[in-house]
Structure 1
Amino acid sequence: MNQLTTSLLLTGLLAAAATPAHAQKASPETEAVQQTVNAFFDGMRRGDSTAVRRTLAPAAVFHDFGGKAGQPPTLEIESINGFLKAVGTPHPAVWDERITFERVLIDASLASVWTPYEFYAGSKFSHCGYNSFQLVKLADGWKIAHIIDTRRKEKCK
């Protein structure tokens, strides 16, 4: 390459590198899925079990995956009615699960959502981990069909 060609190529590469990257706007379906997950946690923060229930598909399943320190993890089904009762029963501190959407995958009427989280009881940190949500699109919109999460007190994101 001659010096002029090299100079033009470098100038073009530098100009491309200096151009700000534009964040892509999420698709309407992705936004609708995220809205359902956010509504679940908004209802939990308000202690509104009816709002939480509205985000759930009929026959939804919750799994707890964890265990006690030094023991192998266990997989257990959590009672949805028990969870909703706990959400709706007054408790001294707001249950505040702070999530970020790391991945949202959608195929037709099935969505998979991966969210790291930190859970606070009021302003006090409790635990962290990852949530995995499976959602289905029903006649009345996206509903949560399955939730499973990990839980720990250290090595949080």
Structure 2
Amino acid sequence: MKLLPLSGLLLSATGTMAQTPAAETEAVKKTVQTFFDGMRKGDSTLVRSALAPGAVFHTLNTRNGTTQLHAENPSDFVKAVGTAHKDVWDERISFDKVLIDANLASVWTPYEFYLGSTFSHCGYNSFQLVKLAGGWKIAHIIDTRRKEKCK
């Protein structure tokens, strides 16, 4: 009988330790938002500031019923953001989930992407962030892309 209260105490202590302070969650969200603010502004320096050294980008596409994983070069992406383009790259996200453990965060965001005011595609982003000396940085982005059935 004495074991039951002790096990309950241990379980409640574990749950308390797993909680993330709101400030950390907001800092993670701010890093992701900085990435997209830089995209909208065409500011490659701002986009780069949100990325960890050695960041990796992937996208999932389905063509002819087959899912394909494509690696994208983050340096090429950052360069493209800073190169003049006719329309604003406007990726509209919402934060579905933010999970944090120590110096690792995972963020899940549905999105709709617009070129200027014209809808282009939608899907979900999955971000993996790490907390380095300079704060939270994006280490990996993987997304899905489609034209319909958004959210």
TM bucket normalised to smaller: 0.7 to 0.9
Q: Deviations over 1:83-125 (max 9, x none)?
A: 0111111110000000000000000000000000000000000
RMSD value over aligned CA atoms? 0.9
1:78 aligns with 2:72: yes
Unpaired runs of at least 5, structure 1: 1-25
Q: Deviations over 1:55-105 (max 9, x none)?
A: 00011000011143x241111110111101111111100000000000000
1:40 aligns with 2:50: no
TM-score (norm 1): 0.81
- The runs of 4+ residues in structure 1 deviating greater than 2 Å are none
* Alignment-mate amino acid for residue 103 of structure 2: S
Which structure has greater strand proportion? Answer: 2
| Percent of aligned positions that are identical | 70
After TM superposition, the structure 1 = structure 2 runs for residues 13-52 of structure 1, keeping only pairs within 5 Å, are: 27-52=22-47
1:55 corresponds in structure 2 to 50
Unpaired runs of at least 5, structure 2: 1-20
Report SS of the residue matched to 1:86.
helix
2:81 corresponds in structure 1 to 87
User: In the comparison of the two structures, how many residue pairs are matched?
Assistant: 131
| Structure whose alpha-carbon radius of gyration is higher | 1
Report SS of the residue matched to 2:66.
coil
* Alignment-mate amino acid for residue 112 of structure 2: E
Q: What is the distance in 2 between the residues matched to 1:106 and 1:80?
A: 24
2:8 corresponds in structure 1 to none
Q: What is the distance in 2 between the residues matched to 1:140 and 1:56?
A: 11
- Which residue, 109, 113, 123 being the options, matches 1:115? 109
Q: What is the distance in 1 between the residues matched to 2:60 and 2:148?
A: 16
